[in-house]
């Protein structure tokens, strides 16, 4: 019953993408950013759809279950980034419109007059997004497996969802993504409302009774207390996530921004989107319900669906599973679009539009196929790389910030050096746990190293050339960076 509802739901989600699209896009630009004329509502659902993933559903509830109030870090970081994006987003859109950007790498290539830097950023983007794509597909399988209790059902769902997602992405590109985002967000809100009413009432007698119980038995969970998830961890996690989101360091977020009609549409969206993020408090409350209802040994990622399964009838659990599956399929589709355009537009550029589209569509197939294969055969193969995805990509922030204004503050080589050192520091601190970080997010430490190295390298360049402008001219003339 649950599997049937989940599979039907996935087909309905994919079908939405086909509705209203009679033939596939003829150009990569149309496929990636439409006609750059998406209005406010479309842009809203596109951006909201990309920001709510399986993480929102499962991991936030899991973090609340294991670490209590520390999970509240997930509430403010995207709204904080929207404050910055209110000012930055329109600037990026204008640059994109003026220079025809389709990808994040286009920005670096054009602003730094360095196709090489653009290609390196594209490679970094593709490499870091692959584990994120795998996470969505693996997460979808786990969701179905958990609610049906069958491993085969999970595997079948992963295959079906990936095939459907690839089909609608290839057919309709960003337009399909926007169409499915409507249904996905409606389902997600519905699921959250059902869960927040049913789960605390079923297991704890309501939200008030739930927190009175937690306050009486485990009051430390209601605060940010000493330990691995203390106040320093909370603030540095909020900061690195805000910086990464504000400076659009995740490449798959760019098509949604570039597809908007204009600055006013973006400003209006960034003004009101924070309202939507308050929804994240709901899975946090569900996670707290797990504290009083489940064994301590329960896996954090299983908390939300285990509670849902115990409190709801099968058909409604199936609807929750569809909502959770949608929160994997839509971001996975955005990731495919982000990765394929980086390859087709920046890494393997060709002269004819037809070949570009063929490379692009081939990349979607390869990326989704690879992520599915790894998800089925070696689900933990990219786990280490995933640890680097957010903090690693956040290292692009200083180079982006330095080049977004009228005056560019860095040359390509110092910017690249900063990125390399930042990613290196993040990698070192992530995998060598013997080095103490005092609960500071490794991405923040990487950013400090990144900025120091980039500034020092820029100082050397200026000393040798006289000014940033001279240094830029000399670099361009010698084509060292091209």
Closest approach of Cβ 271 to another protein, in Å? 4
Closest approach of Cβ 452 to another protein, in Å? 23
Complete DSSP assignment for 274-289:
HHHHGGGHHHHHHHHH
Q: Which is nearer to another protein, 65 or 234 (CB)?
A: 234
Closest approach of Cβ 284 to another protein, in Å? 7
Q: Which is nearer to another protein, 236 or 363 (CB)?
A: 236
Q: Which is nearer to another protein, 83 or 370 (CB)?
A: 83
The CA distance from 295 to 310, in Å, is 14
Q: Which two tokens stand for residue 353?
A: 């539009």
**What number of H helices and E strands is found in the chain?**
22, 0
Complete DSSP assignment for 376-430:
HH-TTTTHHHHHHHHHHHGGGHHHHHHHSSSS--S-HHHHHHHHHHHHHHHHHHH
Degrees (nearest 5) of the Cα angle 196, 198, 201? 100
Q: Which is nearer to another protein, 143 or 445 (CB)?
A: 445
Q: Which is nearer to another protein, 38 or 132 (CB)?
A: 38
Q: Exposure pattern of 440-471 as b/e (b: 16+ CB <10 Å)?
A: bbbbbbbbebbbebbbebbeebbeebeebeeb
Closest approach of Cβ 42 to another protein, in Å? 4
Closest approach of Cβ 90 to another protein, in Å? 7
Q: Which is nearer to another protein, 275 or 434 (CB)?
A: 275
The CA distance from 121 to 106, in Å, is 9
Closest approach of Cβ 198 to another protein, in Å? 18
Residues facing residue 260 across a β-bridge:
38
Q: Which is nearer to another protein, 285 or 343 (CB)?
A: 285
Q: Which is nearer to another protein, 79 or 131 (CB)?
A: 79
* Eight-class DSSP state of 312: S
* Eight-class DSSP state of 253: G
3 state DSSP class of 331? helix
Burial class (CB within 10 angstroms; exposed 0-12, middle 13-18, buried 19+) of 119: middle
Q: Which is nearer to another protein, 57 or 270 (CB)?
A: 270
Closest approach of Cβ 445 to another protein, in Å? 18
Taking the alpha carbons at both ends of the chain, their separation in whole angstroms is 58
- Residue reference for tokens 């993504």: 177
| CB distance 5 to 319 below 8 Å | yes
Closest approach of Cβ 380 to another protein, in Å? 33
Closest approach of Cβ 326 to another protein, in Å? 18
| CB distance 426 to 244 below 8 Å | no
The residue among 458, 51, 41 whose CA lies nearest residue 244 is: 51
The CA distance from 327 to 66, in Å, is 22
Q: Which is nearer to another protein, 54 or 277 (CB)?
A: 277
The CA distance from 47 to 162, in Å, is 21
Closest approach of Cβ 266 to another protein, in Å? 9
Q: Which two tokens stand for residue 200?
A: 């605390």
Q: Which parts of this chain interact with another protein (CB under 8 A)?
A: 20-21, 34-35, 37-43, 69, 72, 75-76, 79-80, 82-83, 86-87, 90, 94, 175, 178-179, 207-208, 211-212, 215, 219-220, 222-224, 230-232, 234-235, 238-239, 261-265, 267-268, 270-272, 274-275, 277-278, 281, 284-285
Q: Which is nearer to another protein, 262 or 379 (CB)?
A: 262
Closest approach of Cβ 219 to another protein, in Å? 4
């Amino acid at each position: 019953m649950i599997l049937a509802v989940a599979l039907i739901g996935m087909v309905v989600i994919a079908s939405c993408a086909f509705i209203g699209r009679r033939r596939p896009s003829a150009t990569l630009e149309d496929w990636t950013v439409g006609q750059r004329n998406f209005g406010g509502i479309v842009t809203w659902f596109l951006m909201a759809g990309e920001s709510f993933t399986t993480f929102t559903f499962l991991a936030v509830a899991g973090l609340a279950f294991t670490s209590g109030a520390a999970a509240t870090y997930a509430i403010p970081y995207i709204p904080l980034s929207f404050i910055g994006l209110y000012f930055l987003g329109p600037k990026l859109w204008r640059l994109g419109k003026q220079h025809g950007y389709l990808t994040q790498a286009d920005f670096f290539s054009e602003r730094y007059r360095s196709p090489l830097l653009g290609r390196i950023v594209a490679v970094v983007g593709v490499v870091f997004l692959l584990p994120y794509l795998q996470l969505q597909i693996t997460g979808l399988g786990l969701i179905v497996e958990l609610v049906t209790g069958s491993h085969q059902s999970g595997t079948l769902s992963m295959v079906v969802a990936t095939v459907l997602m690839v089909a609608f992405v290839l057919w309709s590109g960003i337009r399909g993504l926007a169409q499915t985002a409507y249904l996905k967000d409606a389902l997600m809100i519905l699921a959250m409302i059902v869960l927040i009413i049913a789960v605390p009432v079923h297991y704890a007698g309501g939200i008030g009774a739930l927190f009175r119980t937690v306050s009486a038995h485990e009051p430390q969970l209601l605060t940010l207390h000493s330990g691995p998830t203390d106040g320093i961890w909370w603030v540095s996690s909020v900061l690195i996530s805000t910086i990464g989101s504000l400076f659009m360091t995740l490449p798959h977020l760019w098509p949604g921004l570039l597809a908007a009609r204009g600055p006013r549409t973006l400003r209006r969206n960034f003004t009101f989107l924070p309202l939507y993020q308050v929804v994240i408090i709901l899975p946090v409350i569900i996670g707290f319900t797990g504290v009083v209802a489940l064994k301590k040994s329960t896996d954090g990622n299983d908390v939300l669906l285990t509670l849902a399964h115990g409190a709801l009838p099968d058909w409604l659990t199936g609807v929750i599973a569809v909502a959770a599956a949608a929160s994997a399929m839509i971001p996975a589709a955005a990731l495919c679009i982000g990765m394929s355009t980086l390859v087709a537009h920046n890494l393997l550029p060709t002269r004819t539009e037809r070949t570009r589209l063929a490379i692009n569509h081939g990349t979607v197939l390869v990326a989704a196929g690879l992520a599915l294969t790894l998800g089925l055969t070696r689900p933990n193969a990219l786990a280490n790389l995933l640890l680097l995805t957010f903090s690693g990509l956040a290292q692009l922030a200083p180079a982006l910030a330095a080049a977004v204004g009228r005056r560019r503050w860095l040359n390509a080589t110092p910017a690249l050096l900063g990125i390399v050192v930042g990613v290196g520091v993040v990698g070192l601190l992530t995998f060598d746990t013997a080095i103490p970080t005092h609960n500071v997010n490794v991405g923040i430490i990487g950013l400090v190293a990144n900025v120091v190295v980039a500034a020092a390298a820029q100082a050397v360049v200026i000393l040798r050339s006289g000014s940033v402008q001279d240094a830029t001219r000399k670099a361009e003339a010698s084509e060292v960076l091209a």
